Amino acid sequence: MCFNRNLLKRYDHLFTFIFKEGVSPTNNIAERGIRPAVQWRKICFGNRSDNGRLLTARLLTVTRTCLLQGRNPFEFLVEAISSYRCGNSAPSLI
């Protein structure tokens, strides 16, 4: 009985997608965002060091952010590496 009461108390929040247009009933956008990273991890069996883990996390973050912004990730990485080698400030992802 307690479960039923708690469910009814949260009815409006649980079923927002029914009452408000544009609200998705699933978490597909977030799931799709991390899917390439998960696939990469499974194919490559992860990393062997903390430095490798850090590099992978940063590369995957930059790649996904660039794609979401409609930018070419490879162009961004070339610009970032060139800026670093020349002593200039790095390009922004924000």
Per-residue pLDDT, 77: 94
DSSP 92: P
Q: What is the mean pLDDT of residues 11-35?
A: 80
What single-letter amino acid sits at 17?
F
Q: State percent of the chain over pLDDT 70.
A: 99
> CA–CA separation, 16 vs 25, rounded Å?
8
Per-residue pLDDT, 18: 82
Q: What is the mean pLDDT of residues 68-88?
A: 94
Which candidate, 54, 52, 75, places its Cα nearest to that of 63?
Answer: 75
